[in-house]
Amino acid sequence: MKKMKKQQKHSWLPKVVFLAVFLVLGTLNTPGLAVAQEGLEIEEVIVTAQRREQSLQEVPISISAFTSEEIEKYMFKDVSDYITATPNAGFISNGARAKKKISIRGVSSFSGGADGLDDAGGATVGFYIDDFSVANSTINPPIMDIERIEILRGPQATYFGRGAMGGGISITTNKPDNDLFGSVMLDYSRFNTKDIEGVFNVPVVEDVFAMRANLKYADSDGNIENTNEIGGGNEYEYKYARLSARYTPTENLTVDFTLYSTREDVGMREGVPSGVFSTFAGNVLYSSFPDRDGDGLADPDPNGVGFYPDNRNRVNFGNPQNVGTDSDSGVLRIDYTTNDLLITSITGYVSSELFINGDIDGGSPDFFNEFRNNADESFSQEVRIQNTNDSRLQWTLGGIYAHDEKTRRHRTFVGAEEIFGIPEFFVISSGDSEGDADVWAVFGQVDYSVTDALTISLGGRYTEDKQTATLFSFTGSRVNSVSADEKFSDFSPRLAFRYQASENTNFYGTISKGFKAGGVQVPPFPTFSDSFDEETLWNYEIGVKTDLLDNRLRLNAALFYMDWDGLQVEFEESGLDDEGNLVIFNGLDNAEKSTSKGVELTATALLTENIVANLSIGYLDAKFDELTQFLDGENRVFDGRTIPRSPKWTIAADVEYGFDVSSTLDGFVRAEWQYRDNYTAETNAYLRPEGAYPWYVPSYDFVNLRAGIVHEGFSIAVYAENLFDSNFYTNAYEHAYIGGTFLEPSFRTYGVRGRYEFR
């Protein structure tokens, strides 16, 4: 096994000192502390986590919320940015924007490689844009013209449905209004990266009809170069459009219609060779490679570019790659109020396609090529009714029907090298699947104020999920085909209380259940099951939300324990069958027992009139209590092992200092620091010694710095992200790479951003 050179240790001290400098400078340059200034307080944040507008401090859920102003300050570009700023939340990236996997409190999808089904069993984080679920099409929409982002931690079945075991992400966009408005944003950064955004809002008929258009175009030369004569690298082009219309013929009726379209094309799957073979590549595909380090095992080929961490920006692909996504959707929302009631209808359709085509061996020899296309379509109709008066009893009742269709096409071809004497263009592995899911659910919640201080909430969701799947796979000389119908039903209750101990302090407690459906698969051997069971999770949580020091310090904390059965984990079987043919199979099985417990703390402080600081800390202990998993040819017991993607500590801190440049010009300086403890990305890491590179991801941290000026409708800012060029990665992903598994490297970037608004 290749040993990685000892990396520079991540020291917190330089970063902490770096942040403290801005704190001290602001204190020295600002007359008086915030606690001595009247009228200075943290603004109230309104969220819609329970499908009605409520104060963040009054909702009995652990939530991280980012307002439009904060989104602009952080310069969020995609889901990884705001997830990293959230305690006990994280992500791994598998080489493409659309192939990120989210983890909240240790709950994540470990089913990406199930044969014939990509992400079988469904998502584990609910993802909604304007109350419409987009989890089947993307978990990484562009961040532009956004009113608010909410990340809810813990099961959210009542309002977010079957895919919200770990939590939910809710994005609220800015809607058309009666003001003529427009904005243009230009961003230029390292690697010749250009990002252009435009927003235009026009009141077509005053107080009756308005429209809003969003356009985004981005391209980049990328940070990875293909040294092969075919050239290229991870250059990309990204296009996005959103058109929305709002019709308000009366004060009781609001109709919103929105169309979305996304196109992304990337020159390669992101990553550089690690220098460590996966088990299958090292033991079967490239076992004839020379043993350079004398450990008795074949070693990956440097291929003229070398390995990470010495190589962070080069690959040598003999054939081109092409990675990207196409997505289109339309949503119609109708809100009608009458007699203290709000009736809401949300109708939506989304279609998307993910494609990964071309070189799969990761080197200049032409060993293998892959063609993978995942197509998804989803239609849903949701209806809700809720009261809008100020009575002690607040209630919501709803129902939803959804129809999902999935199509998967995958082929792996032998290249010109004709490995094992197999002729060129011979298909050594293929998988086709077509799946339908008809899902309906009824849900509701009642909030009753027993006293002025105590509110009890009781909610739940009943779901029936009928899946039909036709799966076909071919590996080696084996052909498998299966058709199956499965129905999964579940009732997920939720009980919560909120106790207002004082005007600005609320205590809460929650007991809630999460559910994820099972599914079918195509095993190559009769000893493996052709289905896997659902998983269920119970969450027990208590918390406090308080504003102190005359509303200049906000502290929110939560303590939770989660107990779940049947966690779906991936197993693998690969090698040569009895006839000497390649056999590659990834499937799913259920862990017997797992638990996750931890603490979350978020804080916002107005340290002075000019300085605001934020801090989030998460502590997590997520383990497999009982797990027997088939890996590398035999059943292995992994009781007590940490669940992948569950770093023990997650910390994010930032501080911003605002100042007057002149009577008409405002300035700011902002520093951000984020830390992630070490973790494993996949269960196959358990086959290696603890800490072995690259299967165990080392802890990492990084600092961002931003500064700018604002003048009425114009702003300009400069920034440096990963300022100290921290060298880290989020996971190692496996394919038949001759240079070993691949890593998506980190890098420093810097740029300038300008924005102009007119009204």
Instruction: Locate 699 and state its tokens.
Output: 């802890």
> Is residue 26 scored above 50 in pLDDT?
no
> Is residue 114 scored above 50 in pLDDT?
no
380: which strand partners? 348, 402
Mean pLDDT of the chain: 87
Q: What sign for the dihedral angle of Cα 72, 546, 615, 729?
A: negative
Residue 680 to residue 697: CA distance in whole angstroms: 6
> Is residue 285 scored above 60 in pLDDT?
yes
**In terms of residue numbers, what domain contains 332?**
12-758
Give 23's pLDDT tier (boundaries 50, 70, 90): very low
Q: Which residues, at least 6 apart from 274, have a Cβ–Cβ distance to it below 8 Å?
A: 2, 300, 307, 308, 693, 694, 732, 739, 740, 741, 742, 743
* pLDDT tens digits along 438-463: 999 999 999 999 999 999 999 999 99
- pLDDT value at position 527? 59
Give 482's pLDDT tier (boundaries 50, 70, 90): low
Give 116's pLDDT tier (boundaries 50, 70, 90): very low
Of 245, 252, 242, the closest CA to residue 205 belongs to 245
Residue 299 to residue 2: CA distance in whole angstroms: 7
- pLDDT value at position 579? 59
Question: Is residue 558 within 8 Å of residue 153, measured between CB atoms?
Answer: yes
Give 521's pLDDT tier (boundaries 50, 70, 90): low
Give 518's pLDDT tier (boundaries 50, 70, 90): confident
> What H or E segment, with its residue span, contains residue 20?
helix 12-29
Count of residues making up the chain: 759
> Is residue 31 scored above 70 in pLDDT?
no
Instruction: Locate 735 and state its tokens.
Output: 């394919």
Residue 635 to residue 191: CA distance in whole angstroms: 47
Residue of higher predicted confidence among 164 and 334: 334
Q: What is the pTM of this model?
A: 0.89
- pLDDT value at position 519? 74
Give a yes or no: residue 5 inside a domain. no
Q: What is the CA radius of gyration of the chain?
A: 26
Give 9's pLDDT tier (boundaries 50, 70, 90): very low
* pLDDT tens digits along 329-386: 999 999 999 989 999 999 999 999 988 899 999 999 999 999 989 899 999 999 999 9
Of 693, 699, 615, the closest CA to residue 649 belongs to 699
- pLDDT value at position 233? 93
Give a yes or no: residue 451 inside a domain. yes
Of 154, 20, 141, the closest CA to residue 82 belongs to 141
Percent of the chain scoring above 90 in pLDDT: 64
- pLDDT value at position 614? 97
What pairing do the DSSP bridges indicate for beta strands 314-315 and 225-226? parallel
Give a yes or no: residue 578 inside a domain. yes
* pLDDT tens digits along 44-69: 999 999 999 999 999 999 999 999 99
Residue 745 to residue 739: CA distance in whole angstroms: 15
Give a yes or no: residue 6 inside a domain. no
Domain at 128, CATH number: 2.40.170.20
517-526: buried (b, 16+ CB within 10 Å) or exposed (e) per residue? bbbbbbbbee
Tell me the mean pLDDT in the region 671-682: 94
Give 727's pLDDT tier (boundaries 50, 70, 90): very high
Tell me the mean pLDDT in the region 213-228: 96
Which range, 105-114, 161-170, 690-699, 731-740, has the best average confidence (pLDDT)? 690-699
Question: Is residue 324 within 8 Å of residue 264, measured between CB atoms?
Answer: yes
Of 557, 602, 595, 547, the closest CA to residue 86 belongs to 602
Question: Is residue 425 within 8 Å of residue 418, measured between CB atoms?
Answer: no
Give a yes or no: residue 246 inside a domain. yes
Q: Per the structure, how many domains does the chain have?
A: 1
> Environment class of residue 531 by beta-carbon count within 10 Å: exposed (0-12), middle (13-18) or buried (19+)?
middle
Tell me the mean pLDDT in the region 557-568: 93
Count of CA atoms in the C-beta half-sphere (13 A) of 311: 21
Give a yes or no: residue 509 inside a domain. yes
- pLDDT value at position 32? 35
Give a yes or no: residue 1 inside a domain. no
Which range, 517-526, 565-574, 646-655, has the best average confidence (pLDDT)? 646-655
Give a yes or no: residue 7 inside a domain. no
